[in-house]
Amino acid sequence: MKRQFRLAATVGLLFLLSLGSVIPTASAAQPPAVNAVGGGTPGLDAASTLSQITGIAISPLVGVGGVGAYRYFHAPADKRASLAWYAQPWFWIPALLLVGVCMAKDAAGTILPTSLKKPLDVLELFENKASGLIATGAVVPMAMEVFKSIHPDGASLFPGETSFPLAAMDFSWLGNLLMVPIALMVYASVWVVSHTIHVLILISPFSTVDAALKSFRAGLLASVVGTHWISPTLGAVWAGIIAVVCIVLSGWAFRLAVFGHVFAWDLLTFRHRRFTPDSRLNWAFSGSGLNSIPVRTYGTVARQDGGGLIFKHRRFLVLAERTTPIASGRHEIGRGLLHPELLRIEGDSTSCVLNFPPRFKGGETVLVSACDAGGVRDIGLRAALTWIKTALGFGPATA
């Protein structure tokens, strides 16, 4: 958590430096014309851009489609052909139509049966990933437009002025150099936290919870738009608060996003029907019983030659590899309705050490050997169904 706080402070400092590198130059210039981003000055344009990027990250398809339509209708007719790709009708019209389809699905979500709604939620999860990737292409030009008002045509600020050559130098490139990574950092952090709403909707069994989560996201997006409409400065402050909170939560949100993606893909493709676990090394998510690392960390569990299990993982999937030994003791494989787990048995209590993805469903006997476990037991809803069948006389008696 301390790393995320330091990262948020660094992003804020770079943002101030990006403005400070050009403010002296801009103040010496003649008042520039208003551009498509904000009020025509680096400060107002940066405030407007921060609000736009935050809104797009919360809901990429709504954000990019809405910004594109707004810029298209507010641009002069002879300038529309030169607008960015996301402001062209061939993009924002289909994007907003798709948004309408998703809204219709959400409106009918409370009356649709879960068996029909959950597959649609899986498709929307992947739609959010695809639209988030597409929206990244709009973030960079938005960030670079902040400083176009300083030198809109690349000309000198003081034509014919030679007394103060340093004052006439164009430092907007330095602002762009700092602003682009800031914009990408803010966008990635806000998007990954917002994306967890789709993951929570996917794993939630209640339609009312789904509606509450989507209402919260819509309200957050409306607050960004509303505060910016009242005042670009107020909107930037509110967007900055959201960005800082999201940067702090980015690690937790990234783990949950990976968890949701892996589970959704395995369930959507019925991967368990064509997958066989390995006899020594398998992918898994850390559980609450593995106290040394955060829950839902994605990595591999392997059995060592000398005995015992180790869990290997990388921060954000790409950083240096870390190895965590799994404490020895009595272990069993829990057979759940959707996926198996590695359980630690301590007397009458059990704790989840690892969560295996749904592709491992049906391969519990192989996992027993791979994880040096003592056997297989039903858990969760599957255990409840087994107990009901036994109580009614439809299944074999179990201990």
Among 265, 289, 319, the domain-final residue is 265
Unique residue bearing structure tokens 């790393």: 3
270 assigned to some structural domain: no
56 assigned to some structural domain: yes
396 assigned to some structural domain: no
- CA 174 to chain CA centroid, nearest Å: 29
| 308 and 225 together in one domain | no
| 10 and 43 together in one domain | yes
398 assigned to some structural domain: no
The count of structural domains within the chain is 2
| 252 and 310 together in one domain | no
| 221 and 334 together in one domain | no
88 assigned to some structural domain: yes
Among 205, 235, 265, the domain-final residue is 265
Q: What is the CATH number of the domain that holds 324?
A: 2.30.29
Are 202 and 128 spatial neighbours (Cβ–Cβ below 8 Å)?
no
| 215 and 337 together in one domain | no
Are 377 and 368 spatial neighbours (Cβ–Cβ below 8 Å)?
no
| 234 and 295 together in one domain | no
For Cα atoms 334, 340, 345, give the angle at the middle one, nearest 5 degrees: 30
Are 332 and 345 spatial neighbours (Cβ–Cβ below 8 Å)?
yes
200 assigned to some structural domain: yes
Domain containing residue 13: 2-155+169-265
Among 244, 265, 286, the domain-final residue is 265
| 35 and 90 together in one domain | yes
pLDDT tens per residue across all 399 residues of the chain: 555 555 555 555 444 444 444 444 443 444 443 344 444 555 566 677 788 888 888 888 888 888 889 889 988 888 888 888 888 999 989 888 888 887 777 666 556 666 666 677 777 777 788 888 888 877 777 766 655 544 444 443 334 444 444 444 444 544 556 667 778 888 888 988 988 888 887 777 667 777 788 888 889 989 998 998 898 888 888 988 998 899 888 888 999 889 988 988 888 888 989 999 998 899 999 998 887 789 999 999 998 877 789 999 998 888 899 999 998 888 999 998 889 999 999 888 888 999 999 999 999 999 999 998 889 988 877 666 665 666 566 655 444
Are 182 and 15 spatial neighbours (Cβ–Cβ below 8 Å)?
yes
| 281 and 261 together in one domain | no
80 assigned to some structural domain: yes
- CA 378 to chain CA centroid, nearest Å: 33
| 374 and 312 together in one domain | yes
271 assigned to some structural domain: no
| 196 and 283 together in one domain | no
| 246 and 309 together in one domain | no
| 254 and 358 together in one domain | no
In the sheet with 321-326, reading across from the earlier edge strand, the strands are 321-326, 309-314, 298-303, 281-286, 349-355, 340-346, 330-335, 376-378
